[in-house]
A and B are shown apart, each in its own frame.
Chain A
């Protein structure tokens, strides 16, 4: 099995049209697959010439997202996050 590539979602709260859900900002997950490149929706939404961005499917554990409130800590959530929101990082905790 390939080693997991962990990423942290930037904890920015910019105004305007973004497609990074607030509940995932600041959270760490691993790359499930890479897609795209697709046009950056944050630029497209305002009629700007959009740059191309890789789109990553990031898999998070429910424990990472919701902490002690997680319904079932080992269940997972996958979301598509544009690369400019992601920073490589270490695993969130010992596996």
Chain B
């Protein structure tokens, strides 16, 4: 008899887990309906939509890390980045589309952190998709009220004399933090430095890696 009492176990002997399916939400159905109508009417094609999804998935924090590392090694580029971060990023060959970007720089006296209280604005065209916590109600509401507590939970404990500057991405601009260059990296190339730049360090909830963390990667 094929259906014996071991039927609920997988071939590896573990119980099957229930599927995590749920019915489509209203807005998921709406998205599918609009997408299908646009394809039927010849406004766009499935191939174009897939290509756009691929392009967005291909963007990653590595793009932002390259921008930060160049600003650490090229003072003229750093000035241009602070002046017009969109133009400076585009000049490195990144396809940032309509992104309007502002770069804010961490110094010995100032620590910047980015949040979007109204929704989840994020420089996707340069850094890729935002982390889930960035879109959470807790991060969005607490970062404007108690940024030091939030940063401490990320492991960033700031001295009293450092000013915290929170940037609420309320309208048309998107933000990238230029973290301070780690000590002990004199003579490093931009490529080597880029490996120290984490996604969170460009949101302001983290710091770059210490040079020792990737010492092996240098050789």
Contacts and interface: CB of A to CB of B under 8 A. Distances in A.
Contact of B172 (A21, A66, A74, A80): A80
B165 A75 contact: yes
Contacts, number: 62
B173 A35 contact: yes
Contacts of B165: 75-78
Nearest to A39: B172
Nearest to B144: A77
A75 B171 contact: no
Contacts of A41: 171
Interface string B113-139: 000011000000000000000000000
Band of interface residues on A: 20 to 34
A92 to B, nearest CB: 18
Contacts of A78: 165-168
Query: From DSSP, what is the main secondary structure of chain B's interface residues?
Result: mixed
A66 B118 CA distance: 18
- How many residues of B sit at the interface, in one of the four size bands? 20 to 34
B190 interface: no
A75 B170 contact: no
A1 B171 CA distance: 28
Nearest to A65: B144
A28 B160 CA distance: 24
Interface of A: 19-21, 23, 35-36, 38, 41, 55, 57, 65-66, 71-72, 74-82
Given A71-B149, A76-B166, A80-B169, 11 more contacts: A21-B118, A55-B171, A55-B172, A66-B145, A74-B163, A75-B166, A76-B164, A77-B166, A80-B171, A80-B172, A82-B171
